[in-house]
Chain A
């Protein structure tokens, strides 16, 4: 029987929500890693039982966890009893060792001065579409790491951070984070990343070299609003059947590219506000996209006390509000950049989590919503695995 497994990262632990294909009744497991911040969890597309989790705290730093049984049990890669008796010896316990190549250098700080690059945490874990033991990690301060041993050790793809524009990158309110990693399903060497606040970058050679892909973006908070880098890109998304088409929720503006990110045009259209964080694409309709408009960058909650997902079936510009089952008064939550996803069941499911601790699900492409859980800690990320 098919079903779904929803992976929820929160400020105080992780939760795993499971249901059959009807997505009406849910089992809730957790909190896992209680008391820790879980910025992201994601399952391998090649092995659904394998799930990675980014666990962190101000006291103890970064931890990487991995489950090989669908989230029932977890271990830090390289520290299991099997690892400890390995004749290979060290490295052990290096799954949380994220070391920049060479001298890390500096980036722009909030006040415009230069500031040293310092590792803080992993924002995003992206298991490879092509190799079962390969996984990417997007980190703060912005850089991309790759593991080819299922998270035991990590190596920086330093061509990104060492790009000539690095000293011009700057942190947003959440820090200078590499928060999105998108793999092209038709080309294992083509990867897109998004950084707040630097913008989008693309590699066509598996991570050796990178180019900024921000032409067409305009950001009024910069001296040159159309500069090559410095844009606060909140999220990018693509549909596997049309990997040349990218959608973006920027700090302000919804954007679209039809050429792998080389050029962008605004498709905010009739949205009540074009500020927001997440964006995602319907599993079966490449021109159907979802966003959650937020009132402004100074208030960070939904407009008018109404929680509304907006859907465009035209790849942008024309948007409709989806409200059935969502609170339409006295609601003042935010939906963070990693907290929306879609499943790939025949009737596409859409999911999102809020800073108020609710996780909402729609089993009919967003027409109707209901909460799976209402009272979790603030939700940082939501990912879903479609189980066959």
Chain B
């Protein structure tokens, strides 16, 4: 099971407590994880990536195994620790504050 960490506002929007766990067919990529996430929680469509272009919204970042993978190809396989569920795939909002 893939564990996905979502920002608080998106958890509230989707009515989720804690991390999301998703079963995703291999190969596990950012695209396949987001496709599954948006299928299970359609209210999240358009909030992480654009409806049409599927590009990541510019104020969001993707982290995996302490690496920023925001600018990697969304069709690259994710690290084994993400696939095994040992590490969460983190979707994080850009820092906000004064």
Contact = CB atoms under 8 A, between A and B. Distances in A.
Interface string B1-30: 000000101100100000000000000000
A354 interface: no
Contacts of B94: 59
B60 interface: yes
B9 A93 contact: no
Contacts, number: 58
Nearest to B60: A59
B57 A79 contact: no
Nearest to A55: B13
Interface residues of A, number: 21
Q: What is the interface of chain B mostly: helix, strand, loop, or mixed?
A: loop
A35 B42 contact: no
Nearest to B7: A59
B51 A60 contact: no
Contacts of B41: 79, 93
A29 B22 CA distance: 35
Contact of A93 (B44, B57, B59, B93): B44
A329 B60 CA distance: 44
Contact of B57 (A61, A63, A78, A99): A61
A76 B51 contact: no
B45 A36 contact: no
B87 interface: no
Contacts of B45: 92-94, 96-97
B46 interface: yes
A58 interface: yes
Nearest to B44: A93
B9 A35 contact: yes
Interface string B24-52: 00000000000000100111111110011
A56 to B, nearest CB: 10
A92 B43 CA distance: 8
Nearest to A58: B59
A78 B41 CA distance: 11
A96 B42 CA distance: 11
A93 B38 contact: yes
A265 B93 CA distance: 49
Interface string A350-364: 000000000000000
Contacts of A35: 9
Given A35-B9, A60-B10, A76-B13, A96 B60 contact: no
Contacts of B46: 61-62, 93, 96-97
B43 A93 contact: yes
Interface string A3-47: 000000000000000000000000000000001100000000000
Given A63-B43, A97-B51, 6 more contacts: A59-B94, A62-B46, A75-B43, A92-B45, A93-B38, A93-B43
Interface of B: 7, 9-10, 13, 38, 41-48, 51-52, 57, 59-60, 93-94, 96
Interface of A: 35-36, 57-63, 75-76, 78-79, 83-84, 92-94, 96-97, 99
11 contacts: A59-B57, A60-B10, A61-B46, A61-B57, A62-B46, A63-B43, A76-B43, A96-B45, A96-B46, A96-B51, A99-B51
Q: Which 7 A-B pairs have the closest CB atoms?
A: A93-B42, A93-B45, A79-B43, A60-B47, A92-B42, A76-B43, A59-B59
